Structure 1
Amino acid sequence: MAIKSEASDEPEILNLENFLPYRLYRLADAVSREFSRIYKDSHGLTRPEWRTLSGLGQHGTMTASAIGEQSAMHKTKVSRAVAELERRRWLTRTPDENDRRVEHLALTKAGLAAYREMVPLAKAFERELLAKLSVSEREAIANGLAALQAALGKG
């Protein structure tokens, strides 16, 4: 929320701690860091590796570009995550028949097994996080997020 002194011509000051975009970023980062302990401890994954594995586990075959769009990751982070998951033999790359610059990525049996081991851990984390809130607070968050996503055309 911006604060302006009415008695002077001082410029407005932005109270960053109350600025909604900053608060949303900080909260998302805190939740993401807390959740990262789970996949790091269980499988030694980084955030980009988890997001890549999770995207492929959910959608099956994807391109690196599609993973980047879904997870809001820069292409270099996706590329490094793909390389590491391939090194672990958790994913395979198949060149596109029509465009050799595009590769279709898919989980191997080992990658799918790791993903399936982590899904219950992720769901338990979400349940524990939501259990800290009342029913009305959970509904308010869900409604507020949906409204912001719709207003920004990201719904």
Structure 2
Amino acid sequence: MHAARTRNMEPEILELESFLPYRLYRLADAVSREFSRIYKDRHGLTRPEWRTLAGLGQHGSMTATALGEQSAMHKTKVSRAVAELEQRRWLTRKPDEKDRRIEHLTLTRAGLAAYREMVPLAKAFERELLAKLSAGERAAVTEGMAALKGAFG
């Protein structure tokens, strides 16, 4: 008997609600939406703008390509976020000395101030999220995520 069929020869059905990739996506999306309320209310930022601000705040200077890789954002989202943060005067672009097609992005004083304001709020959000889990559940989530990341690189 073919593996894709049940005993009564009906096609196998995928229950999306119990499918792990879908459950992970839904959970990540729900957590991201909840956190987005903080940076949206505070500064009117979109998710890509927040991720760009956070990446530059963490690393100091990055290229748009590096930002996209770090944040798993498509280059058009990175480009729009960079343009918006530049319009706010929160970041500057500096062409690479060797390759003029590459720009190094850096937060301005105002951008860095916004980032520094957001860091404690982000950490408090994470603490509140983790507080919903027992110590054993936190360890299991951390270990499980590490195992899955290791399996997919």
Structure 2 length as normaliser, TM-score? 0.96
Q: What is aligned with 2:12? A: 12
Off by >2 Å, runs of 4+ in structure 1: none
Question: SS at 1:14's partner residue?
Answer: coil
- The CA deviation string for residues 27-65 of structure 1, in whole angstroms up to 9 with x for no partner, is 000000000000000111000000000000001100000
Match of 1:63 in 2: 63
| Equivalent residues, number | 150
Corresponding residue of 1:115: 115
In structure 2, runs of 5+ residues without a counterpart are none
- Residue 107 of structure 1 deviates from its aligned partner by 0.3
- RMSD over aligned CA atoms reads 1.0
* Structure 2 CA distance for aligned equivalents of residues 17 and 149 of structure 1: 22
Q: Distance in 2 between matches of 1:4 and 1:90?
A: 57
Which residue of the partner structure matches residue 23 of structure 1?
23
Contact 1:4/1:13, CA 8 A, preserved across alignment: no
Q: Partners in 2 of 1:10 and 1:67 — Cα distance?
A: 47
Query: What is the match of residue 126 of structure 1?
Result: 126
- Aligned-residue sequence identity (percent) comes to 81
Q: Where does the alignment leave 5 or more consecutive residues of structure 1 unmatched?
A: none
Q: Which residue of 2 aligns with 1:39?
A: 39
Give how far 1:123 is off.
0.3
Which residue identity lines up with residue 5 of structure 1 in the other structure?
A: T
The separation in 2 between residues aligned to 1:39 and 1:65, in whole angstroms, is 23
1:138 alignment counterpart: 138
Query: Following TM superposition, by how much is the alpha carbon of 1:5 offset from its aligned partner in structure 2, in angstroms?
Result: 3.0
